[in-house]
Structures are given as structure tokens and as C-alpha cells.
């Protein structure tokens, strides 16, 4: 994973008061829970005493209790009680569970994956999505590295083949451009914008990005590091995906269907239709993408890329620079 990034890894609604949630994210076992005030904690799922999973324990007051010997930890991971030593004895300072910096925004739980800081950059999001929009979420597991799943959403060449009977209808196999650009709005921000100009092949040569007119409309697709993507279908209709890394070979896809219908019954109906459509389309992708080798892509893995792959090349260049610390 790219260090020193915010990653959307859960939805806030998955972590309810009084409930302990054990998950694997970023290749590590974690436990998420809320104290009596509703404050979220995301910690390593391991008691430092004897290595038991805290997710098998229970909540007591504002602490999570280890199921083995009753040790209690607050939301910061600080041990507040060792029952065997008595309630009036201060626990050893070494009894501390690793806790992760988290933010809850836009209905997501973001984890800061990197070195602690006095000040953190904003959590990645798409400011073009108004608060008046509502969404329905679909979750799906992909057995591949999260960056492969991301690249699939930047791939305009595959549309008429994988999605020949859905979003790729029309046999527009010729790829003009595409145009892919990078923006930065704050320190550490990297936003990719993508414009798609596929058309029927009638014997013409595809235009290079430099031969294309400057875009006069909003992007078709956007990706923001660490792991969120948007299909900007219309101002009142969006698809957003968070590619939550489970480990190096597994990803949990959070697919959101955003729309503007707020009337209760119609809202649910729109959400159901949108989620069903998302499921059909992403399962067309998943069947093929999980077969890619190697699981984790990079610039020099032996793939022979073409002009239409330029958004993927840009994504890989920025990813490599961020991993190597050559970009802020």
C-alpha cells in the first residue's frame, strides 16, 4: 500500500454502538468499536498480554474487554484495568494496543496508513457530490490486489469486450486519446481526471491525446489517492467506489450508487435498481480481472501497454513516486 495516505476501509454504518467488528484491512487484523459517546476506535485485534483477539471480547463502559483475562482498553488503546492486579492498581504502561488514526466522513471510515502527524491532510473525496444526494451501497469481494481493481476502473480499452451488452454496447473499439490529467488541491492530494472518446472503427487512425481538443466538459471518471473513484455519469447520478485493501491478494469493493430521489419508497427503489446494475457490471469485470498476473501491478512487470492504456500508466507513475517518497 502507498504509505501516508487516507484509505476508506469501512462504512460508518457497519460499526454500531455496542457492537465489536473484527476485520482484516491493509494486511492486518483490526477491531473497530464505539464507546458510550459513539466515538470510534480502530485498533490492532490483539491483546498485548497473551495475544488473544480483542474482537472476541465484549464492551464494558467506555472500554473493550479482552475475553481471556478481562484486561480493559479505552479507545486510544491504553489499558485501564488489569483485574488480577486489582482495580486500584495502575496497569503497566507497556500494556498498550496499537490504535490507528481514523476519520468518519461521507459515511466512510478512513484510516491513516503511515507515520503519525500533528496535522493530517483532508480525507479524499469528490467535492462535486452535493450533500443533497443520497446513496445505496453494495459490497463485493475481489480476489486480487486493490490496485488491479483500481486500474480496471481507469481502463477504457476493455469496455466493448467485457461490457459488450451493458455499458460497452455499440462496439466502440477505437480509442481516441484518452485524455488523463493530474490535479492537486492540497499537500498530498493527487486527483486523476479522465475523458473517454471511444468510437466505432471505420478504418480511421485513433487520435493521440495531443491531437484531441481541450476538454470542454467535466471529467467522465475521477480517481483520488489513496483509494476512491467516481464515475461522473450526470450531475444528479454518480457511481463511487472505495477499494478497501484486505491484504495483497484481496479487496473489498464498496460500490455506491448516488442519486437525487429522496422520497422514501422511490429512494429505496432507485437504490435497489442502481445496486443491481452495479453488481451486473462489476461482476463482468471481476470474472476477468481476478485472473491477471501478477496480482500487484507496477511499471516494469513485463506488460506491453498501448496508447489507450495511458491512464493506467499515469496511475502507476504516481503510485510509484508516492511509494518511493518522490511525491508529497
Instruction: Clarify whether residues 308 and 165 are in a common domain.
Output: yes
Mean pLDDT (whole number) for 301-326? 95
Mean pLDDT (whole number) for 205-223? 95
Instruction: Clarify whether residues 48 and 170 are in a common domain.
Output: no
Instruction: Clarify whether residues 16 and 88 are in a common domain.
Output: yes
Report the predicted TM-score, pTM, of the whole model to 2 decimal places: 0.94
Instruction: Clarify whether residues 319 and 176 are in a common domain.
Output: yes
Has residue 15 got a pLDDT over 80? Answer: yes
Instruction: Clarify whether residues 77 and 178 are in a common domain.
Output: no
Position 188 scores a pLDDT of 86
Domain presence at residue 203: yes
CATH, residue 54: 2.102.10.10
Percent of the chain with pLDDT over 90: 97
Domain presence at residue 309: yes
Position 295 scores a pLDDT of 87
For 67-114, the DSSP string reads TTT--EE-TTSBEEE-GGG-TTSPPPTT-B--B--EEEETTEEEEEES
Has residue 158 got a pLDDT over 80? Answer: yes
CATH, residue 268: 3.90.380.10
Mean pLDDT of the chain: 96
Percent of the chain with pLDDT over 70: 100
Instruction: Clarify whether residues 213 and 89 are in a common domain.
Output: no
89: containing domain: 5-113
Number of structural domains in the chain: 2
Instruction: Clarify whether residues 228 and 280 are in a common domain.
Output: yes
Has residue 328 got a pLDDT over 80? Answer: no
Instruction: Clarify whether residues 61 and 201 are in a common domain.
Output: no
Domain presence at residue 39: yes
Domain presence at residue 73: yes
Instruction: Clarify whether residues 45 and 188 are in a common domain.
Output: no
108-152 tens-digit pLDDT: 999 999 999 999 999 999 999 999 999 999 999 999 999 999 999
Domain presence at residue 328: no
Position 326 scores a pLDDT of 83
Instruction: Clarify whether residues 88 and 210 are in a common domain.
Output: no
270-297 tens-digit pLDDT: 999 999 999 999 999 999 999 999 989 9
Domain presence at residue 101: yes
Residue 236 confidence class, pLDDT cut points 50, 70, 90? very high
Amino acid at each position: 500500500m502507498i504509505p501516508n495516505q487516507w484509505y476508506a476501509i469501512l462504512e460508518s454504518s457497519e460499526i454500531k454502538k455496542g457492537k465489536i467488528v473484527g476485520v482484516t484491512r491493509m494486511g492486518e487484523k483490526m477491531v473497530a468499536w464505539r464507546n458510550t459517546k459513539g466515538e470510534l476506535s480502530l485498533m490492532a485485534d490483539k491483546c498485548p498480554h497473551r495475544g488473544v483477539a480483542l474482537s472476541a471480547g465484549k464492551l464494558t463502559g467506555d472500554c473493550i474487554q479482552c475475553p481471556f483475562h478481562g484486561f480493559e482498553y479505552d479507545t486510544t488503546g491504553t489499558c485501564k484495568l488489569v483485574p488480577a492486579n486489582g482495580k486500584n492498581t495502575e496497569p503497566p504502561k507497556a500494556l498498550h494496543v496499537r490504535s490507528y488514526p481514523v476519520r468518519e466522513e461521507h459515511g466512510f471510515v478512513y484510516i491513516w496508513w503511515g507515520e503519525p502527524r500533528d496535522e493530517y491532510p483532508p480525507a479524499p473525496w469528490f467535492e462535486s457530490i452535493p450533500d443533497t444526494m443520497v446513496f445505496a451501497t453494495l459490497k463485493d469481494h475481489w480476489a486480487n490486489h486493490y490496485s488491479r481493481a483500481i486500474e480496471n476502473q481507469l481502463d477504457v480499452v476493455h469496455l466493448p469486450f467485457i461490457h459488450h451488452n451493458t455499458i460497452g454496447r455499440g462496439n466502440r473499439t477505437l480509442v481516441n486519446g484518452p485524455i488523463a490529467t493530474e490535479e492537486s488541491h492540497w499537500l498530498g492530494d493527487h486527483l486523476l481526471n479522465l475523458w473517454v472518446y471511444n468510437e466505432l472503427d471505420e478504418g480511421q487512425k485513433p487520435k493521440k491525446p495531443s491531437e484531441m481538443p481541450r476538454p470542454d466538459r467535466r471529467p467522465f471518471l475521477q480517481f483520488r489517492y489513496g483509494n476512491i473513484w467516481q464515475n461522473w455519469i450526470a450531475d444528479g447520478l454518480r457511481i463511487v467506489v472505495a477499494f478497501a485493501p484486505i491484504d495483497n491478494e484481496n479487496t473489498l469493493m464498496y460500490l455506491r450508487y448516488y442519486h437525487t430521489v429522496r422520497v422514501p419508497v422511490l429512494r429505496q427503489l432507485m437504490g435497489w435498481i442502481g445496486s443491481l446494475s452495479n453488481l451486473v457490471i462489476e461482476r463482468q469485470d471481476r470474472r476477468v480481472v481476478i485472473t491477471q498476473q501478477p496480482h500487484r501491478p507496477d511499471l516494469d512487470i513485463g506488460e506491453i501497454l498501448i496508447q489507450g492504456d495511458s491512464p493506467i500508466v499515469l496511475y502507476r507513475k504516481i503510485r510509484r513516486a508516492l511509494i518511493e517518497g518522490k511525491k508529497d
